Amino acid sequence: MVEEDAGSVIVTWGLGEPARVADVEYFGYELYYYAPDGTGGKRFGVRFHEKTTAHVWDHASSTQANYHSDSVTVSDDSIVVRYQDADLGIGDVGTIAAFSYVNGVDTPVDIPVTLLR
């Protein structure tokens, strides 16, 4: 789920059963979206490795903002990341989906996303 409020974007990933993967070095979750014409958009992510980090990649400007672990809240059933000083950056969202990855290998299925504005 993605929520946009004044001055931040909040992304919540609902968690299911743990993946059965041997030798996990790092893993993470990503959300991406584009305008209906395929332009613009951003990619919001969180990565768990030696330390937890989050980031926003802006497709239009080819820039990335990085966030420390204090922006990330983890519970048994969800991961919530508050991206301060961020916005969606486009009025209409066309394509929007999320995915997870383990050791840099993406899952083959796009996870549905609910956008709240």
Task: Domain count for the chain, please give it.
Answer: 1
Domain residue limits at 13: 2-116
> CA–CA distance from 38 to each of 33, 60, 83, 100 (Å)?
9, 11, 23, 22
Which pLDDT tens digit goes with each residue over 22-69?
A: 789 999 999 999 999 999 999 999 999 999 999 999 998 999 999 999
CB 111 within 8 A of CB 98: yes
Look at residue 18 in the predicted model and tell me its pLDDT.
Answer: 75
Q: Whole-model pTM?
A: 0.89
Q: Strands 27-33 and 8-14: what pairing?
A: unpaired
User: What distance in Å separates the CA atoms of residue 61 and residue 43, rounded to the nearest whole number?
Assistant: 12
pLDDT of residue 16: 82
Q: What is the pLDDT of residues 87-114, one digit of tens each?
A: 998 889 999 999 999 999 988 667 889 8
Predicted local distance difference test score (pLDDT) of residue 64: 96
* pLDDT for 17: 79
pLDDT of 12 higher than 80: yes
User: How far is residue 98 from each of residues 12, 42, 44, 52, 111, measured CA to CA in Å?
Assistant: 11, 12, 9, 19, 5
Can you tell me the distance from the alpha carbon of 33 to that of 16, in angstroms, rounded to the nearest whole number? 23
pLDDT of 90 reads 87
